[in-house]
Structure 1
Amino acid sequence: MSDKKQILHPLGKGSSFSLDFTYSFWWNLMLITVGSLLVGIGLRSLAVPHEFIPGGIFGLASLIYYKTGILSPGWLFLILNVPLFVFAWIKVSRRFFWYSAYATIAATGFYELINIPMYVESQLYASVACGLITGFGSGIVLRSLGSNGGLDVIAVYLFQRFNIGIGKVYIIFNFILFSISLLEMSLDLIIASLILVFISAIAVEKTLSLFNQRKVVFIISDKAEEISNDILNTLKQSGTFLKGFGAYSKQEKNILMTVVNNVQLKKLEEIAFSHDDNVLFIVENTFSVVGSSFSKRKVY
């Protein structure tokens, strides 16, 4: 044990069992298929009938289709992805290439083959509904080891290589795309399309954090040892002791740090206060926890 901290076993003494499907082929295939189905339905049933620009490469494909009538947005999207997939093969990884290629082909196939009419007359309602459906679908795909194709390929590469946020890549590309669209389309359609893109981005973020969000809890108490043992036995959850020094008491004490999900949080609070009415219970939100008994680090 270090004089700075003591790490307890994540799942209790002698246990190392952890369920994680991150690198399972069939799990990734299922995520991509379901997500691509939702994306295809949302685009075919709501975006294109209202002539929205969904943003990204499909947005560019849609703009070309609206102004030229050449092929369909689905086929144009597939064609525009070809050079991006060559880039993914060379610069990212073979696994990322195959998963992303499958996602693009699946989305194109679902778009071309499945037509579920959604009779939404209001542009506002249609843009919100489309943003929710496509954003949720895209988020499901991004939970896999692949991507939705299109701009995701460039965004993932820039993020891995230069730590450039994925959102920044989309903002720059969509700014250029919508600037061009302003010259060709009505302002009402552009605003509705921007609402669609904004709602979709929020839906993607919420979908990605749906099962990843955790609470980091710091428990400061003179009975940290007893609280830790109770957490380990009751919740089967680990903790880490950090050495603290009281500013007023000038005494050294253990600070218990642990990570739990939303369901476990209330039970953890009950455990802490059942041992010490004067415990200091600090909770912080965290988007994702990777490693140990939690989810594996995603490597494309």
Structure 2
Amino acid sequence: MTTDAPALLRRLRRYAFTVPWNLLLLTAGSLMVAFAIKCVAAPHGLLAGGVSGLALLGFYVMPALDTGAWYFLLNVPIMALGWFLVSRRFVLYSLYGMAATSVFIERLTYVLPVSDPWLAVIACGVALGAGIGVALRSMGSTGGADILAVAVRERLGMPIGRFEFLFNVCVFALGFATLKLEAVLYSVAMNFLAGWVTDACLNMFSERRMALVITTRPDALVQAVLHRLGRGATILPARGGWSGEDRPVVLIMLNNLEMKRLEELVYEIDPGAFLIMGSGFNVTGQGFSGRKEY
């Protein structure tokens, strides 16, 4: 039995918008965020960004309340605000993510057994960044500053990254007044790493390649791409700068796994073709990622 790869990919993309898949992503992301906060950050005196950072500050100042309780209490007014300013679907998913994170923080008792603060910084940054990145690939979040950032973007047009940067500046300013300078500086490094890992998680399966092929057989190449690669192609009119001759250019969008197959197709059809590959494109539309609406 042969597998129709394009049809399988279409089914997987449709499944990415289903409730079970979103809940799975939120659960996994919440567990990683909770591990970073409860098992690494809190025992080593580190400060996370966002509402989780405020929860850690609350725990350091008033340890009678666990970090999970602080996280839950701080998120309640934010969820209420998001209910009216953002979509209810986004808030409901985020409510689940916030509740799951709070429960995991309460239940986890493991403490990462490292004494070197830089090892704690690396472990916390990777776990926190991966958790946030996995959660944000769903239709919700783990709560906190993400909801405020989306609300501010919808109302004021401020980019999410800029708002979260300003929010974290306020959190670390409070940290300077509460914690030792050394702990705050370690925390800045940890959050920088967490941001890098978050971006890596968000772009891991979204990065696409753009191929430009200058060929004397554009029609044959387009047919091969359509039927053998399962991708679309666009023929662009072009003219050689040196020769002045008309020479069509074929534009193709594809993912990383299809690059080698395209290269083989191109030089099988036209050994004299000129192939250009570009990376780092985020493509939204038929055959690729759907538009994410909150």
Task: Decide: shared fold, TM above 0.5.
Answer: yes
**Structure 2 match to 1:113:** 107
1:124 equivalent in alignment to 2:151: no
Q: If the length of structure 1 is used for normalisation, what is the TM-score?
A: 0.90
The residue correspondences of 1:245-264 to structure 2 (distance < 5 A) are 245-264=239-258
Could you tell me how far apart the structure 1 residues matched to 2:208 and 2:222 are?
Answer: 18
* Stretch moving more, 233-242 or 51-60: 233-242
- The offset of 1:118, in angstroms, is 1.5
In the TM superposition, what whole-angstrom CA distance separates every residue of 1:248-292 from its partner, at most 9, and x where no partner exists? 333333211111111111221222123333322122223421110
Maintained 8 Å contact 1:221/1:255: yes
2:128 match: secondary structure: helix
1:18 aligns with 2:14: no
Question: Which residue among 227, 230, 246 is the counterpart of 2:224?
Answer: 230
Of 148, 152, 166, the match for 2:146: 152
* Structure of greater relative contact order (alpha carbons < 8 Å, 6+ residues apart): 1
Would the aligned equivalents of 1:22 and 1:296 in 2 still touch at CA under 8 Å? no
Question: Would you identify which runs of 4 or more consecutive aligned residues in structure 1 move more than 6 Å?
Answer: none
Partner of 1:256, secondary structure, is strand
Q: Tell me the alpha carbon deviations over residues 162-193 of structure 1, each in whole angstroms, 9 at most, x when there is no partner.
A: 44322211211111221221222212111111
SS for the counterpart of 1:50 is coil
Kept in 1: contact 2:129–2:197 (CA 8 A): yes
Q: Identify which range, 167-176 or 229-238, moves more after superposition.
A: 229-238
Give per-residue Cα distances to partners, 1:211-265, cap 9 Å, x unaligned: 1111011111112222222222321221112222333333333211111111111
Aligned pairs for 1:94-105 (under 5 A) are 94-105=88-99
More deviation in 157-166 or 106-115? 157-166
Q: Which residue of 2 aligns with 1:143?
A: 137
Q: Secondary structure at the match of 1:52?
A: coil
1:56 and 1:97 map into 2 onto residues whose CA distance is 17
The 3 A distance-change label for structure 1 pair 154 and 196 is same
Question: Alpha carbon RMSD of aligned pairs, Å?
Answer: 1.9
**CA-CA distance at 1:16 after TM superposition:** 11
**Matched residue SS, 1:286:** strand
- Greater CA deviation, 258-267 or 64-73? 64-73
1:163–1:273 CA distance, 2 compared to 1 (3 A): farther
Whole-Å Cα distance in 2 between the matches of residues 62 and 291 of structure 1?
41
Give, in angstroms, the shift of residue 140 of structure 1.
0.7
* Aligned counterparts of 2:63 and 2:254: Cα–Cα separation in 1: 53
CA contact (8 A) 1:81 1:150 kept: yes
- How many residues align? The count is 288
- Identity score, percent: 31
CA contact (8 A) 1:41 1:115 kept: no
Q: What's the CA shift string for 1:50-73, capped at 9, x where partnerless?
A: 111111111011112212324112
Distance 1:158 1:63 in 2: 24
CA contact (8 A) 1:22 1:295 kept: no
Does residue 62 of structure 1 match 2:88? no
Asked whether the 8 Å contact 2:50–2:144 carries over to 1, the reply is yes
Structure 2, unpaired ranges of 5+: none
In structure 2, do the counterparts of structure 1 residues 293 and 110 end up closer, same or farther at CA, with 3 Å as the change threshold? same
